[in-house]
Amino acid sequence: MLTLTCPYCGVKAEETELAPGGEAHLKRFGAGSSDADYEAYMFARKNPKGVHFERWRHAYGCGKWFLAARDTATLEVFGTYPAQSKEPPAELVAAIKARRPGWEGRK
């Protein structure tokens, strides 16, 4: 059972309390952008087999969106952080690198 700690209310929430929201840190391309950029923003996804950054919502808790780092190949959770973050926090990246020495960082 997947368990994520909500960075806002601090609750250790299990999967049935949470709603997944797809890839995190997408850069939005809206009206006026090129077709290629818009297509990539809408549909192209990293889908890594390994470390992945995702959006989650504490749906049956405080209701807030937050971000999480997780391994899609092992289901290990590295940590969660607020949705307002432009990049994963440095200490989280360091923690992932400690657990996954071969990881090349977020591409």
Residues found near another protein in the complex (CB under 8 A):
1-2, 15-16, 19-20, 22, 35-36, 39-40, 42-47, 49, 52, 54, 70, 72-75
Least distance CB 105 / another protein (angstroms)? 16
Least Å from the CB of residue 98 to another protein: 22
Exposed e or buried b per residue across 39-60, where buried means at least 16 C-beta atoms within 10 angstroms of its C-beta: eeeeeeeeeeeebbbbbbbbbe
Nearest approach, Cβ of residue 97 and another protein (Å) = 21
Q: Which is nearer to another protein, 11 or 94 (CB)?
A: 11
Encoded tokens for 101: 């020495």
Name which of 74 and 91 has its Cβ closer to another protein: 74
- C-alpha 96: how far from chain center: 13
Give the rounded distance of the alpha carbon of 27 from its chain centre: 14
- Three-state SS at 97: helix
Residue 93 CB, shortest distance to another protein, in Å, is 19
Hey, what are 20's tokens? 């997944």
Choice between 94 and 99, CB closer to another protein? 99
Whichever of 75 and 90 has its CB closer to another protein, that residue is 75
What's the CA gap between 95 and 32, in Å, rounded?
39
